[in-house]
Amino acid sequence: MSTLTMPLDAATVTFEILDQLQEHAPVSWGGLTAPTGGLHSPLRGDALPDYSVFPDRSSTDHVLVLHRWIDVDGRPGRDRVRLQHRTIGDALNHLQAAEPVHRFTIGHDIDPFDADGSRDLPVLSVWTGPVVDAGDVPASMPGPELRGRVLFRGRLSDRTNVLEEHPGMIAMERLILEQTPSLEEWVLRSGPRIADDLQVHEHASELNTLDDVLTWAEQWLHTSYDSPYLMSINSFVVSCAGAGQPMTVRVW
């Protein structure tokens, strides 16, 4: 097992040697660094990756790229592409050519192509952008067109407009925050599946950025969980019809 502590260049790291690396050994690519063994966790509120790259067991010179998506009826779908790449760097370069890579992790996951679901494989998980920081999104004046994802205190949102683009999805949001047509005021209310005795309905103005809006939401999030303690946002998604249009934020 490798005991290297200096970051390994992703261009030299093949999927075959991942099992030989020390856990948390750093791998670098394009100014980003990720430790091996660090997987995303939906239970922690991590957004699902856009792409998962697995080794092709039939050929060491190929990888299988899984692209996840949701159809209009809310059913999860996926596209699989077989590419002639061997290294982590090759796979990231390929994805970067289509969309900017914002984050990646390297670890293990259940092989999605195994009918029995019992085989564990190395996996490269990739989140693509564009990504904008919540502090850079105006919340009381016309803002830019939002595409990709929003970043709030290191927490990456699901893709913008995901619920509008796929209206069949069943949302279980705890809070919904809606910007009024004037863009100068926000309305906060409980999600439709929250019990009547836990409902909240609040208004606020003078919220300068989307970071302020999400911080305000955290003051009320514990109510929807019937908790006496303040809570941090676990996950969120932003919707907007276009540049300068009112935004809707859903929070869990």
Chain length of the chain? 252
DSSP state of 17: G
Evaluate whether 250 touches 236 at the Cβ level (below 8 Å). yes
* 1-39 confidence digits (pLDDT tens): 444 578 999 999 998 888 788 888 999 999 999 988 867
User: Which residues of the chain carry a pLDDT beneath 70?
Assistant: 1-4, 38, 42-43, 68-79, 117-118, 165-170
pLDDT at 21: 83
* Helices vs strands, H then E, count in the chain: 3, 16
Q: pTM value?
A: 0.82
Q: Enumerate residues 6+ apart whose C-beta is below 8 A from 37.
A: 23, 24, 106, 107, 108
Tokens encoding 65: 């790229």
User: Left if phi > 0, otherwise alpha if psi is -120 to 50, otherwise beta: which for 172?
Assistant: alpha
